[in-house]
Amino acid sequence: MRSTATKRKLKKWRWHFRGIGKDAAILGVERSHLYRVLTGKRLSPRLLIRYRALRRNHNQTLASIRKLADVITSPPPKSKTV
């Protein structure tokens, strides 16, 4: 007797939009709505503009934090002794 269950190939799961849940909460929309706008299934030019501005500010903030972390964790310069 054959099994009724079908065998499926498992697709590799990967991130499409990392942090979309947090971004949607910040923007005050549902995650699914933001996802549909980003994938082009729904049109919302204003939301797309707000999302891009949010990500740009987020990336700039992360870059400045990384620079500060590099300065803090870098060893002090060696002084020359005469």
Which of 56, 39, 38, 59 minimizes the C-alpha distance to 47?
38
The arithmetic mean of pLDDT across residues 21-42, rounded, is 94
In a domain, 33, yes or no: yes
25, 7 contact by CB (below 8 A): no
Contacts of 26 (CB under 8 A, 6+ apart): 54
In a domain, 45, yes or no: yes
Q: Is the dihedral of CA 30, 33, 37, 38 positive or negative?
A: positive
Compare 8 and 21 and report the one with higher pLDDT: 21
In a domain, 49, yes or no: yes
Is pLDDT at 80 greater than 70 in this prediction? yes
Question: Average per-residue pLDDT in the chain?
Answer: 84
What local confidence, expressed as pLDDT, does residue 51 receive?
Answer: 94
The arithmetic mean of pLDDT across residues 27-41, rounded, is 94
What local confidence, expressed as pLDDT, does residue 14 receive?
Answer: 64
What pTM was estimated for this model as a whole?
A: 0.64
In a domain, 29, yes or no: yes
Tally of domains in the chain: 1
In a domain, 80, yes or no: no
C-alpha Rg value of the chain to the nearest Å: 23
In a domain, 46, yes or no: yes
In a domain, 1, yes or no: no
Q: Which domain holds residue 52?
A: 20-70
* One-letter amino acid of 64: S
In a domain, 14, yes or no: no
